[in-house]
Amino acid sequence: MPHYQVKIEEMYDEEPCLLGVRHCLVVARDWSCLDSDVDFYGYREIEFDVLHPDGSFWPEADEAVAEDIDLRRYYEGVIAEELA
C-alpha cells in the first residue's frame, strides 16, 4: 500500500473519487532566468493514484486517467492548487 501525502476529493466519470498524492514538486516560474526553459516556465512533478471513496485503489479509473492527458493535467492542476 503506497503512502499518500494527501488525499483530495474529486469526481471521475460523475462518481466521487480520491486522488492519492504520492509525490508533488511544483517549481514556480522564474521570469528573470533566460538560460533555461525549465526555470523560465517552471515545472511540476506530480505522481498520484485514483482511488475509490473508501481509499482503495481504482485500477480502471487510474488507467483511464493515465491515457487521457487532458484529464491528467486537470487533476495535476487541482493537486497543485490544493498543496500550494
Distance CA 49, CA 57 (A): 7
In a domain, 16, yes or no: yes
Q: How confident is the model over 3-53, as pLDDT tens digits?
A: 777 889 999 989 999 999 999 887 777 767 666 665 667 778 899 999 999
**The predicted structure's pLDDT at residue 27:** 78
pLDDT of res. 19:
94
Cross-strand bridge partners of residue 25: 45
Tell me the residue range of the domain where 26 lies. Answer: 6-83
Q: What is the mean pLDDT of residues 53-59?
A: 94
Dihedral class, residue 4 (left if φ above 0, else alpha if ψ from -120 to 50, else beta): beta
pLDDT number for residue 20: 94
Looking at the domain assignment, is residue 72 inside a domain?
Answer: yes
User: Does some domain include residue 1?
Assistant: no
Count of structural domains, the chain: 1
> Has residue 2 got a pLDDT over 90?
no
- With beta carbons less than 8 A apart as the criterion, state whether 42 and 30 touch: yes
The DSSP code for 3 is: -
Q: Give a yes or no: residue 48 inside a domain.
A: yes
Nearest to 56 by CA among 24, 15, 17, 12: 17
> CATH number, domain at 42?
3.30.300.260
Confidence (pTM) = 0.79
